[in-house]
Amino acid sequence: MTAPVLTLLCPLAGAAVLALAGRHLPRRVAEVVAVAVVLAGFVAACAAWAGFDGQSRILHLASWFSVGHLAPSFSLKLDALSLLMALMVSGVSALIHFYSVAYMRRDQGFVRYFCYLNLFVFSMQTIVMADDLVFLFLGWEGVGFCSFALIGFWSEDAANVAAGRKAFILTRIGDVAYLVALALIVTSLASTSLTELNARAGLLAPDMVTLLGLLFLFAACGKSAQLPLLVWLPDAMAAPTPVSALIHAATMVTAGVYLLMRLAPMISLSPAAMLAIAAIGALTAFFAACAALAQHDVKRVLAWSTVSQVGYMFLGLGAGDLTGSFFHLLVHAFFKSLLFLGAGCMITAMHDDHDIFRMGARLRRHAPGVFAAMVMGACALGGVPPAGGFFSKGRILFAAFTAPGLAERLLWVLATAAALLTVLYAFRLVFVAFFGQPAGQGGPEALAPVPKLMLAMLWPLALLALAGGALNLPGEAPWSGWLGHVLAGVPGVAALPEDNEALVSALDALISLAGLLLAWRLWGPKNLMDWRRPAALAPRVHAFFLSGWKLDALYLAAVARPYQALALWLWRDVDGRGLDGLALGAANLAGNASRSLRRLATGRVTATLVMFALGLALILLIFSVRAA
């Protein structure tokens, strides 16, 4: 049972070493420490998985504090869900740490970078494995801080820091719901254990369960960048690209949906909360897919795409299919980190230019490997059979299709439309960035070489993205449905009915192929239309989606700016002119009053004390006279 603990603590040890001694270590040593601890965590996670006997366990490490009924502890829940998730997190983290060594090779702040990155892995594994909801919250806030610090990593640019603050504050708004839910749980169950909560959820009033479900949903919306709290993620792309791959694609943004998966046994008792999860997911999937279609910045395309794909995970979970949702979570982690790491290579080649319209065919000729990897990633993202995304997204669409109720059916329609948009923006990215002819569009003269280490990290992810479907193939074959079998013992997992599955899958395949052809026609090299045409046809629509449905501007105008303006008003007018003046007057009055009351108080020493106080006032008077 030590292996899961090592998975958790190795990255923490690395962060501690780097924080305390990193400045005095040679660069290579610091890099080795940072990568080695994460690699060790991955090995430990593999060992934990290999030694897992299918039996869910709670590992109590230490108690945190204990007052009355509130007794949070450092305890882990080890079952198929958490161990698989830990395996994915540590594996992807290890690849991205390697990649970072090359990506950050010229940056002076590498110690700080790797310290945050190690701390992030620790915090994320805490979320993954914690059984205690307060302990989980430690990881939950920890990833929020690391995300803030890494988004604003290049802190000399105020815009980066502002993006980090925005991310931290918006996720913290979601956390209010988490804490309120936690307070409700403590007061009604006198426990903070996830397992206890799930086991005793049946004893709670149905309205209470719904309320808890909705509160946790809101918290998850913050972390996972879903409606209405999603506006921070596109700005978070100010972070170094490996960070975007790790934190803002593969792991932290899925923490919200993972939390809901952990709570599935409780939440599934409330049909209203389940429907809300599904609805948020489908709406966000569609909302973000529209926005992704309009972006020019390669990282922003991928950011909106992440928001959209996490929306699918919410939809799957809300439709009652935890397996499908988790399936998509894993496959998405592979293909999205592949796409981000590929984007990092593209950006490196382009001397830090992010605009896909300035890249074009020369980038394909310059870095054919990156091109190949991006095509594979786009296939997986767009759900082109037989890439991984086809199976995982298909499973979620099927779950939404089979769920009872008209509302779910409508959500299925919305999500299917979003699937068409997905394949469109995925291949728009590929075609524009690798086949375009950006003559006269600016951009660098000569492209920069891409470090081999960065390229090397693409291939394991590409393999996982393409073959990820094998985790849970449909059908009756012996190798089918592996993930479903593994997760069968996890509470909250339900099986899907199987009729019409072939029909829905065929529809998905048709949509992705049709989308691919349409993208080729719109943005391909031999297209009949000018590459700028789709945007030029409706510039205002394009601008609307480019800005993310103007949601960010709305929040800025309705909340952020008034909040700041009111702060100034409160300070200058209410606190300064109002209260301060009033209170000074009142204090003077009270002073006068007590001077006259003094005569009423008997007791010589009391009077002496008053004199003592008045004596002080005299000192003060002398001071003010001397000052004047």
Partner 1 sequence: MNPGAATTVFPALSALLILPLAGALVALALSRDAASCRRLALGVSLAELALILALPLLNGPGPLHLAEDFAWISAMGARYHLGLDGLSYVLVLLTAVLQVLAVLVSWREVERSVGFYFFCLLASQASANGIFLARDLFLFALFWEFQLVPMFLLIGVFGHEEKRAAAAKFLIFSLAGGLAMLLAIAGLGLAQAGSTGLPNFSLAALLAQPVSPGLQLWLFTGFLLAVAVKVPILPLHTWLPDAHTQAPTAGSLILAGVLLKTGAYALIRLALPLFPAAAQAALPVLMFVGLLGLFYASWIALAQTDAKRLVAYSSIGHMSLVVLGAAAGSPLSLTGSMFQMLGHALSTGGLFLMVGMLSERAGSRELADFGGLWRTMPVFGAFFLFFCLAAAGLPGLCNFPGEFMIIVGTFKDHPAAGAAAFAGLVLTLVYVLRLAAAVIFGRPGKKARHPDMTFREVLILSGLTALILLLGLHPQPVLDLLTPAVTELLGAREGLP
Of residues 259 and 289, the one with the C-beta less far from partner 1? 259
The answer to whether 488 contacts partner 1 (rule: CB under 8 A) is no
Tokens of 202: 């049946």
Name 73's bridge partners: 63
Among 98, 110, 148, 258, binds partner 1 (CB under 8 A): 148
The answer to whether 114 contacts partner 1 (rule: CB under 8 A) is no
The answer to whether 137 contacts partner 1 (rule: CB under 8 A) is yes
The answer to whether 617 contacts partner 1 (rule: CB under 8 A) is yes
Cβ contacts of 361-365, under 8 Å, gap ≥ 24 = 361/434, 361/435, 361/436, 361/437, 361/525, 362/447, 363/433, 363/434, 363/447, 364/434, 364/435
For residues 356 and 346, what is the distance between their CA atoms, to the nearest angstrom? 9
The answer to whether 551 contacts partner 1 (rule: CB under 8 A) is no
Least distance between partner 1 and beta carbon 99 (Å): 24
Least distance between partner 1 and beta carbon 136 (Å): 10
Among 1, 23, 452, 562, binds partner 1 (CB under 8 A): 23
Contact set for partner 1, span 36-75 (CB under 8 A):
63-70
Of residues 184 and 470, the one with the C-beta less far from partner 1? 184
Dihedral pair phi/psi, residue 220, rounded to 5°: -65, -35
Of residues 115 and 424, the one with the C-beta less far from partner 1? 115
List the end-to-end C-alpha distance of the chain, in Å, as a whole number: 74
Name 76's bridge partners: 59, 130
Least distance between partner 1 and beta carbon 231 (Å): 16
Least distance between partner 1 and beta carbon 236 (Å): 15
The answer to whether 567 contacts partner 1 (rule: CB under 8 A) is yes
The answer to whether 142 contacts partner 1 (rule: CB under 8 A) is yes
Output b/e per residue, 502-538; b: 16+ Cβ within 10 A: eebbebbbebbeebbebbbebbbeeeeeebeebbeee
Least distance between partner 1 and beta carbon 33 (Å): 18
The answer to whether 152 contacts partner 1 (rule: CB under 8 A) is yes
Please name which of 387, 390, 259 lies closest in space to residue 317, comparing C-alpha atoms.
Answer: 259
467 Cβ contact partners less than 8 Å away, ≥ 6 residues apart: 388
206-212-218-220 Cα dihedral, nearest 10 degrees: -120
The answer to whether 603 contacts partner 1 (rule: CB under 8 A) is yes
Q: How many residues form the binding site for partner 1 (CB under 8 A)?
A: 74
Least distance between partner 1 and beta carbon 63 (Å): 8
The answer to whether 19 contacts partner 1 (rule: CB under 8 A) is yes
Select from 83-91, 140-148, 354-362, 439-447 the region that touches partner 1 (CB under 8 A): 140-148
Residue type for 89, please? V
Tokens of 617: 């006032």
The answer to whether 596 contacts partner 1 (rule: CB under 8 A) is no
Among 161, 322, 345, 418, binds partner 1 (CB under 8 A): 161
Select from 445-453, 488-496, 522-530, 562-570 the region that touches partner 1 (CB under 8 A): 562-570
Least distance between partner 1 and beta carbon 547 (Å): 24
Contact set for partner 1, span 303-342 (CB under 8 A):
none
Select from 280-288, 317-325, 416-424, 619-627 the region that touches partner 1 (CB under 8 A): 619-627
> Residue 55 burial (CB < 10 Å; 0-12/13-18/19+)?
exposed
Least distance between partner 1 and beta carbon 287 (Å): 24
The answer to whether 602 contacts partner 1 (rule: CB under 8 A) is yes
> Residue 561 burial (CB < 10 Å; 0-12/13-18/19+)?
exposed
For residues 87 and 47, what is the distance between their CA atoms, to the nearest angstrom? 10
For residues 325 and 333, what is the distance between their CA atoms, to the nearest angstrom? 12
Least distance between partner 1 and beta carbon 614 (Å): 8
Among 393, 463, 594, 599, binds partner 1 (CB under 8 A): 594
Among 21, 83, 155, 505, binds partner 1 (CB under 8 A): 155
Select from 136-144, 195-203, 373-381, 495-503 the region that touches partner 1 (CB under 8 A): 136-144
Of residues 64 and 549, the one with the C-beta less far from partner 1? 64
Contact set for partner 1, span 569-588 (CB under 8 A):
570-572, 575, 579-580, 582-584, 586-588
* R_g over Cα of the chain: 28
Verify cis geometry, omega within 30 degrees of 0, for the bond prior to 228: yes
Other CB atoms within 10 Å distance of the CB of residue 442: 9
400-403-406-407 Cα dihedral, nearest 10 degrees: -50
Of residues 99 and 135, the one with the C-beta less far from partner 1? 135
State the SS3 of 13-31: HHHHHHHHHHHHCCHHHHH
556 Cβ contact partners less than 8 Å away, ≥ 6 residues apart: none
Distance of CA 166 to the CA centre of its chain: 13
Contact 119, 142 (CB under 8 A): yes
Contact set for partner 1, span 426-455 (CB under 8 A):
none
Of residues 19 and 417, the one with the C-beta less far from partner 1? 19
The answer to whether 165 contacts partner 1 (rule: CB under 8 A) is yes
Least distance between partner 1 and beta carbon 458 (Å): 32
Of residues 479 and 563, the one with the C-beta less far from partner 1? 563
Q: What would the x/- binding string for partner 1 be over residues 168 to 207, using CB under 8 A?
A: xx--xx--x--xx-xxx-xx--------------------
Please name which of 333, 324, 314, 115 lies closest in space to residue 226, comparing C-alpha atoms.
Answer: 314
Least distance between partner 1 and beta carbon 553 (Å): 19
Name 94's bridge partners: none
Select from 45-53, 139-147, 349-357, 478-486 the region that touches partner 1 (CB under 8 A): 139-147
For residues 143 and 148, what is the distance between their CA atoms, to the nearest angstrom? 8
Least distance between partner 1 and beta carbon 208 (Å): 12
202-56-252-13 Cα dihedral, nearest 10 degrees: 130
Of residues 29 and 593, the one with the C-beta less far from partner 1? 593
